[in-house]
Amino acid sequence: MKEELHKKRCEACTIGAEPLKPEEIAEYMESLDCGWEVVDNHHLERVFRFKNFVEALDYVNRVGALAEEEQHHPDISLSWGKVVLTLFTHKIDGLSESDIVFAAKIDRMK
């Protein structure tokens, strides 16, 4: 499923929509950088490392700006030289295509 997911827009899903099934997640994962991990078929997680706190904070701010632009907001953990992003759709308590699209957009950030 090698799509250019980063060109799609994150779409709001409705309450009651079904989360992606494991086989759908596996197909989408082929389009993402290898740093993403699927946790319990529920969410995506990726750890980013930086030289110091300032660089990590700058990255968080850029991810935050993208999240506002896309209206799709990850859970973000910031510590010295480290940022952990966790993506899932709270409304459906699982992964949606928008989570994968957002991860693809993160992969394109420099």
Query: What is the residue-level pLDDT of the chain in tens, covering all 110 positions?
Result: 445 754 555 455 666 788 999 999 999 999 898 899 999 999 999 999 999 999 999 999 999 999 999 988 999 999 999 999 999 998 888 999 999 999 999 998 86
Angle, to 10 degrees, between the axis of helix 53-70 and the axis of helix 97-108? Answer: 130
Res 47: pLDDT? 97
What would the two tokens of residue 52 be? 């110091």
Q: What is the pLDDT of residue 13?
A: 61
In a domain, 10, yes or no: no
Residue 110 is assigned to a structural domain of this protein? yes
Q: Which DSSP symbol is given to 106?
A: H
Looking at residue 1, what is its pLDDT?
A: 45
- DSSP secondary-structure letter at 35? T
CATH number of 63's domain: 3.30.1360.20
Which of these, 31, 33, 35, lies nearest to 2 by C-alpha position?
31
In a domain, 63, yes or no: yes
pLDDT value of position 109: 87
Q: How many CB atoms lie within 10 A of CB 68?
A: 10
Q: 5 lies in a domain?
A: no
Degrees (nearest 5) of the Cα angle 95, 30, 105?
65
Our count of domains for the chain comes to: 1
